[in-house]
Copies of this chain bind each other. A is one copy, B any other.
Amino acid sequence: MDDDKPEKRLSLTDATTFAQQLCLAHGTSYAVASALANATVSAQAHGQHEVGFGHLPDYLSGFATGRIATAAEPIVTQVAPAMIRCDAAQGIAQLGFDRAFPVLCSNAHQLGIALFAQFNAFTCGELGYYTRRLAREGLVALAFTNGSPLLTVAGQSRPLYSTNPIAFAAASAAGRLLAIDQASSATAYVNLLRAAEAGEAIPAGWAVDAQGNETRSAREALHGTLLAFGGGRGANIALMVEVLAAGLTGANWSLDAADFRAGSESPGAGMLVIGIAPRLLDECFASRLGEQMTRLEALGVYLPGKAKEQAYARAVREGISLPLSAYDAFKAQVQ
């Protein structure tokens, strides 16, 4: 956040209570409010405003218009010893995961690997939230999700996939997390918006225009579609995520998912989360990982997840900050 803008600072506890109140004021059940507040504050505390409080208006509007069921009770079923299926019942994505979490962890630790597959959900917010929690339980975690179509591949004009992110996390013995959370798109939509506002050109490979031609114009890109990162290989990653997150779970393909920002229909998105128990394979995994992280850093490699961990440590000490304008707008909704 810019230092010259007025801010409201909140402790993590106060921020969580505030987010809960906002959800409850929009008619959610206490369980929904609590699950969403935890995820929102976690993202914010890890420095991810856009999937933290910056994303909350999408949820609140979703509760108001009906595209998120305000009191959905997820239906969690262990369909096989290492496999949990969850019908999110058109509600938020976080609650089903919360409900399944202890059993998912236990399954992975006992069986070696275990899976959580959810369909019929709203988009999942910060995907790294799910993998981070599993990594904190000593698991190596992978997650995949989809949602409304936003992304295409070279030669196409119609969006085929959502940003289809992958998240990955593992904890070292020293408690440091290696944590990847990245879209399959070359950039985030907000970067097109910023470039358009600034009148700047965008790099090749970021987007196509409305006709499906690659463009360097941010304004034309806003009428077009994001491209996958890394050309054909990135497009393959987006497709793989689509099959894992939507195909396996039985969720809507991105092509069939309703807009998560407007309307009264749930996107019916999917999410697949895998936890693996490394200690069953190698008791020294966590210390080996820590040594390798140290070695890579000594070689000059930037390790993904470091900035988020530092932001979180700061947030635990100092709380989180919201732009005062956003805080006031939220505050008006709970009074």
Contact = CB atoms under 8 A, between A and B. Distances in A.
A329 to B, nearest CB: 33
Interface in A167-220: 168, 170, 178, 180, 182, 186
Given A112-B80, A282-B250, A304-B239, A140 B288 contact: no
Contact of A80 (B156, B231, B236, B277): B277
Given A81-B110, A250-B281, A250-B282, A233 B229 contact: yes
A114 B113 contact: yes
- The copy count of this chain in the complex is 2
Contacts of A234: 229-230, 233-234
A240 interface: yes
A231 B300 CA distance: 16
Interface stretch (A17-25, A89-97, A291-299, A317-325): A291-299
B229 A113 contact: no
A253 B291 CA distance: 11
Interface in A234-272: 234, 236-237, 239-240, 243-244, 247-250, 253, 255
Interface string A94-122: 00000000000000001111110100000
A289 interface: yes
A140 B301 CA distance: 33
Nearest to A303: B239
B255 A295 contact: yes
Nearest to A156: B300
Contacts of A288: 247, 250
Contacts of A300: 155-156
Given A80-B111, A80-B280, A180-B239, 12 more contacts: A82-B112, A82-B113, A83-B112, A83-B277, A83-B281, A113-B115, A156-B299, A168-B243, A182-B236, A230-B230, A239-B296, A239-B304
